[in-house]
Amino acid sequence: MKQFLSVKDVSNINALVDKALAYKASPFMDKHLGGGKRIGLLFLNPSMRTRISTQVAAQNLGMESVIFNVDKEGWALEFTEGAIMNGTTVEHIKDAAPILGQYFDILAIRTFPSLKNKEEDYSENIIMQFVQHAGIPVVSLESATLHPLQSLADLVTIKEELQQSTLKNRPKVVLTWAPHIKPLPQCVANSFAEWMNAWGEADFVITHPKGYELDSKFSNGASIIYDQDEALAGADFVYVKNWSAFHDYGAMLSHDNSWMLTEEKMKITNKAKVMHCLPVRRNIELSDEILDGPYSIVTKEAGNRVYSAQAVLSEILKFGN
């Protein structure tokens, strides 16, 4: 693997998932693989799980990691080609990225979208400039449109549940929109849809109020059902997530609290397992009764972030250069 920006960088999804599960069973089996290697974890936006799980994953492989909170500690970066830098930005990405490329063997970046300029966000302008100028493998820790490390952990969790239960081999997986108090990126939903479609071993349904259609380049292949109850019927896994509108870019079109998953709605499902990438706004996106009840696998899902990141770093260490 030369980089990890989306599922398109993965040649064999099931093999990568199996590798993550093997690391879960034996976290230190490749503890010398990353000896003498260093990963830089750059954050232009906040994180808890992604930051710590990737750091632990690197440590399990014997790699050193350096965290740099660009948003709080670094010089403000300029990404516009030809910019006359007489404003608030101090250093151009064309100057900063090649230097980081000398300090590290792998560079991992978190950068959220503006939610104001769709064309710029969907061009992945920021992470692609790191790819262009750093000269070393780049890993997405969530970019403007995708969150592939999250989606890999989601799939690892689904496959782990399938292996540990009597669930049928081709599960019904439902991605449902949930309410929120502010507009959020489409990244997690886009990415989950892209991975589920690429995996192809589930009956995959997306449900949301009208107007929340995702970019079809990610959702094509899923069944789109606007009636949440109809979508939830017989579901084995329900993935809950808010996102803002893609077409009316960044807009919050609905505040309909009836979209929040409750115990009553769970009765429609096939005793579904409930997933969420976290952090979650309790009793807005998901009710206490779901998060604290037997349906929720969100903690297991977040735990699997370590082994998913470890599988990706391991592939890059072996084949990235």
| Cα gap 138→320, rounded to integer Å | 10
Per CB under 6 A, 59 contacts ligand CP: no
138-140 β-sheet, strand order: 64-68, 38-43, 106-110, 138-140
Q: Taking CB under 6 A as the rule, does residue 3 contact ligand CP?
A: no
Instruction: Assess contact for 254 and 211: CB atoms under 8 A.
Output: yes
Residue with smaller CB distance to ligand CP, 188 or 260: 188
Which tokens go with 72? 């709080």
Q: Does 296 bind ligand CP (CB under 6 A)?
A: no
The Cα 77–Cα 227 span in angstroms is 44
Interaction between residue 251 and ligand CP (CB under 6 A): no
Packing angle, helices 148-164 and 298-319, rounded to 10: 120
Exactly one of 22, 128, 278, 284 binds ligand CP (CB under 6 A); which one? 278
Cβ at position 290, least distance to ligand CP in Å: 17
Site string for ligand CP, 34-53 (x = CB under 6 A): -------------xxxxx--
**Token output for 62:** 């014997």
Residue 167 or 178 with smaller CB distance to ligand CP: 178
Q: Residue 165 carries which DSSP code? A: S
Which residue's CB is nearer to ligand CP, number 232 or number 275? Answer: 275
Residue nearest ligand CP, Cβ-based: 50
If you ran DSSP here, which 8-state letter would residue 282 be given? B
Looking at beta carbons only, is 49 or 172 nearer to ligand CP?
A: 49
Residues that bind ligand CP (CB under 6 A): 47-51, 142, 150, 277-279
